[in-house]
Amino acid sequence: MHILFIPSSKHPLISELAYRLNKSNHIKVDVLYLPPPLRKMKKLDTIKKACYFSVCICLHDPLHFLKIICLLFKHFSFKNLKFFVWTFVLSIMIFEENLKKRYDLIHAFWAYPAGFAAMLVKRLIKVPITISVLGYDIDEHTLNNPLLKEITTFTLREADHIIIGAKNHYFNVLLLGIPKHKITILSMPVPTEKFSPHINRKIVRELYGIKDYEILVGFGPRISKFYGAIDFIKAALLSSKKASNIIFMILGENTIGKPLEDYLKRNNVKIIFTGEIPYDNMPYYYAAMDIYCNLCYGGQGISTLEAMSSKKLVIGYNIGDIKITNEVDGILVQPGNIKQLAEKILTAAKNKDLREKIAENARKRVLAHNNMSTYIDKLVYIYMKFRISK
C-alpha cells in the first residue's frame, strides 16, 4: 500500500511516523512538504500553477469549483487571496506527485492548509483522503474565524476518514456536522525510547552552569502570550522571591526582546533563554529539568507528552486538550492564575518525593496510552480498511 503524507508543518514527528511505517512490509510512505510562502516563490510561476489547477477543477467538476470560488469571494481580502493561491499551488503539487506514483491513500495532517489542499484535488485524482485534526485547526481561533471555520468544515465533510488527536476536539468536530462513523480518536504518539528518563541530565545543566542542587523549571514550546510565556515569567518573578535555588529556562526563539531580559536580571530572576532548540536535542533539555510548564491556553500539546515520557513533573493549565490527571501524573492550574501557578512551582520545587512520584506516573501513562508502536498498529488498521474496501 502506497501512502502520501502531507503535513501542514515540518514537525519531526511526521517524518518519524513515515520512517517507522516504511519499515513495515505492507506500507510505503512518501512525505510531501508544503511549498514556501508566496513571498519566497516566483510570482509568475505561482500564478501559472494556480490558473492551471483552477481550469482543471472547473472542467472536471464545475460545482466543486464554484463552491471554492464562492468561499473565496464570501471572505475576500488580498490576504485570503494569497492563502487560496498558495493552497492551489500545494494542490497542483499533490496532483503532479500522484500522477508519478499513483497513491492508494493520502493522509493530510491538520485540516488546513494541508487538508484543504488535498480536498481541492481529491476529485481529480480519485484517491481516498484521511485527515488528522491535531489542534489549531479545530480550536477557538479557528471556530471563531468565519473563513477558517468554513475551510475546516468543507475539508472534514469531504474527507473519507478523520483522525482526532483529543477528545475535546472530537466534540468540536461533531458540532460541524461531521458524522461519527467517519471519526477515530487517536492521540498523537511519543517515541518513548527517544524521550527517556535514562538520558544524561548533566549535559545541558553543565552547558548552562546549573548546579546539582538547583531546581530547573522549563517552559515551552513557544514564546507567545497564547502559549503562556508572560504567565510563566510573572510566576517566575513571584517564585524567585521565595526560593533562591530555582532556575527558569524558556525554550524557543526569544521574540519578547532584550528589554525584558534586562528587567528580569534587575529583579534577580534567573531565567535562561535558550533560543530555538533542534528536535533531536530536546530529550537532553527535558532530562535536565526538574519541572516542565506547558501553559498554552489551547491545552496541552505533544511537548507535554514528551516531558511526561522523559519522567518529568508537568504543570499545565486546566483548559482545552488536557493530557494529565491533576496530582496523579501532573499538576493542573486554573488558566491565568499566576499566584496559583507560582505556588505549585514552589511546592513541586521543595518536594522531591512529590516530583518523583508524579513523574513516575507520567511515564507509565505515556507508555500505556501514547507509545509509538500502539499508535502505528492502529494507524495501519485504519489504512488497511481502505485497501480492503477498494
User: What is the CA angle 346-352-355, rounded to 5?
Assistant: 80
Angle between helices 12-22 and 372-389 (to 10 degrees): 70
Q: What is the DSSP letter of 60?
A: H
Instruction: Report which residue type is found at 372.
Output: M
Instruction: Report which residue type is found at 389.
Output: S
H helical segments located in the chain:
12-22, 43-60, 62-74, 78-101, 116-125, 140-143, 146-158, 167-175, 202-207, 229-240, 258-266, 282-288, 302-309, 338-350, 352-369, 372-389
Q: How far apart are the C-alpha atoms of 8 and 33, rounded to whole Å?
A: 7
In 28-178 the beta strands, taken as DSSP E runs, fall at: 28-31, 105-109, 129-133, 161-164
Task: Show me where the domains of the chain are located.
Answer: 2-189+371-389, 202-369
Q: Is the dihedral of CA 205, 211, 212, 215 positive or negative?
A: negative
What three-state secondary structure class fits 217?
Answer: strand
Q: What is the DSSP letter of 335?
A: T
Q: Which of 324, 290, 326 is nearest to 310 (CA)?
A: 290
Would you state the pLDDT for residue 40? 47
Q: Which of 324, 369, 356 is nearest to 190 (CA)?
A: 369
Would you state the pLDDT for residue 132? 96
Name the phi and psi angles at 218, rounded to 5.
-100, 155
Q: Which three cell numbers stand for residue 371?
A: 507509545
What is the assigned CATH class of domain 2-189+371-389?
Answer: alpha beta
Q: What is the DSSP letter of 33?
A: P
Q: How far apart are the C-alpha atoms of 231 and 254, rounded to whole Å?
A: 15
* Digit-coded pLDDT (tens) for 173-196: 999 999 999 999 998 899 999 999
Would you state the pLDDT for residue 267? 72
Do domains 2-189+371-389 and 202-369 share one topology? The answer is yes
Q: Are 369 and 13 in contact (CB under 8 A)?
A: no
CATH topology for 202-369 is Rossmann fold (3.40.50)
Would you state the pLDDT for residue 321? 78
H helical segments located in 75-145:
78-101, 116-125, 140-143
Per-residue pLDDT of the chain (390 residues; tens, 9 = 90+): 999 999 998 888 899 999 999 987 789 999 998 876 544 455 556 566 666 666 666 666 677 667 777 887 788 788 888 888 778 888 888 988 998 999 999 999 999 999 999 998 888 889 999 999 988 898 888 888 999 999 999 999 999 999 998 888 899 999 999 999 999 999 889 999 999 999 999 999 999 999 999 999 999 877 777 788 889 999 999 998 899 899 999 998 766 666 666 767 777 777 898 988 999 999 999 999 999 999 988 888 889 999 999 999 999 999 877 889 999 999 999 999 999 999 999 999 999 999 999 999 999 999 999 989 899 999 999 999 887 665
Diameter of the chain measured on Cα atoms: 70
Would you state the pLDDT for residue 290? 98
* Digit-coded pLDDT (tens) for 9-53: 888 889 999 999 998 778 999 999 887 654 445 555 656 666 666
Paired sense of beta strands 129-133 and 105-109, if any: parallel
Paired sense of beta strands 215-219 and 313-317, if any: unpaired
